[in-house]
Amino acid sequence: MTGDRYRKVPSARLSRLAGFGQLAGGVAGGVLAEGMRRLARGERPHLSDLLLTPANALRVTEQLSRLRGAAMKLGQMISMDAGDVLPAELTAILARLRDAAHFMPPAQLARVLAAQWGADWRTRFADFELTPLAAASIGQVHRARLHDGRVVAVKVQYPGVADSIDADVDNVATLLRMSGLLPAALDIAPLLAEAKRQLHEETDYLREAEQMRRYGAMLAEETDFVVPAPVADLSGARVLVMDFVEGQPIEALTSAPQAVRDRAMGALLGLVLREIFTFGFMQTDPNFANYRWQAATGRIVLLDFGAARPVAAATVAAYRRLMEAGLAADHAGLRAALVAVGFVSPHTVRRHGPALDGMIEVLMGHLGRGGEFDFADRSFVEQLRAHAQTIVADRAAWHIPPADTLFVQRKVSGTALLAVKMQARLPLVDMVAGALRDA
């Protein structure tokens, strides 16, 4: 463990604002330096080219990892949701935000725990490991042992994170607007409001404990999953204590035999389908760190239920129409369903109907095949990009789906991304048809 992983979390508003100022200044300096270099080579660079450089992505990653909270959470969302849109080198750098958070120094940690349990907080534990097991955007996790021998995980929220959500989201939005990367006419206000609401929910650890118990009950009879149980008498709004469940990072599965990877990913994808069509309730954060793998039992440990939320009935119905049209190879129905669920606006259909139809044709041909679907086969991506170029280039056609759709699709896309990483092969058509039939 290196000392530079420890950085005090800036909790005061002025210090967090200064962090954003450093970020904006560093990015602006990077743009200027890169612009001068390209001009010296006789090039005429565009602003977006200067902003999306590896050096600037590294600056953003480092500063957001220091600020934590909503700022880092939004960066993580970008890294996971960007998928095949951003250049590979930028996606890789931004992906560092999934596990790049710094730790609180021990003195700051002690103050947080004293606020929760009093100055004698150590007496509640037989042992408490001060070095965190993990650090994320909102809090860090420690292993501890109770006096009855029970081993627990203690999730400690960074100070000031809950109070800084609204300002952090607004600051990130300001940076995006100032960058010129988003069209001025694009209304991101509803998305920002929903992001603030969800992030406020995620910082309420008492609410998360309730969602953990709910998932534990829903999956009580499952053999594929393990859900920790919260320790109610030790948990509060800013500290959450739960069973410590052994497991390796989910990435450990990549070295497992094909059949083991397929079974695990089949369980996770099946869970996503049931969350949409059976439970009407979904844990919407697909961050890989929220899954742990138990090689000995073949089970997946599910963690972090702060982003669990109901799936609106209208969203469920829209996804049903989308998948039914896909299964029926109904191109017109699929296009209508894409509009209904909010992925595509009627304006885009009017302006770019042929390009959209070309993308549907590619997706139908790739996803609609029967038998095993090979997630590692990404041959269709370049074809999609070719059709999407005209839509992406037309900034007036840019469109943000409804928040409910975005959060559900985030889980769907994140799970698919994990299946790609695992090179899983699954009977995808049969799984979707079965989920619709059983709902």
Catalytic residues, by residue number, are 285
Residue pair 204/238 in contact by the 8 Å Cβ criterion: no
Residue pair 423/376 in contact by the 8 Å Cβ criterion: yes
Selection from 258, 11, 197 nearest residue 112 by Cα:
11
Q: With helix as H, strand as E and coil as C, how does the chain read?
A: CCHHHECCCCCCHHHHHHHHHHHHHHHHHHHHHHHHHHHHCCCCCCHHHHHCCHHHHHHHHHHHHHHCHHHHHHHHHHHHHCCCCCCHHHHHHHHHHHCCCCECCHHHHHHHHHHHHCCCHHHHCCEECCCCCEECCCEEEEEEECCCCCEEEEEEECCCHHHHHHHHHHHHHHHHHHHCCCCCCCCCHHHHHHHHHHHHHHCCHHHHHHHHHHHHHHCCCCCCEECCCECHHHCCCCEEEEECCCCEEHHHHHHCCHHHHHHHHHHHHHHHHHHHHHHCEEECCCCHHHEEEECCCCEEEECCCCCEEECCHHHHHHHHHHHHHHHCCCHHHHHHHHHHHCCCCHHHHHHHHHHHHHHHHHHHHHHCCCCCEECCCCCHHHHHHHHHHHHHHCHHHCCCCCHHHHHHHHHHHHHHHHHHHCCCEECHHHHHHHHHHHC
How far is the C-alpha of 399 from the C-alpha of 48, rounded, in Å?
19
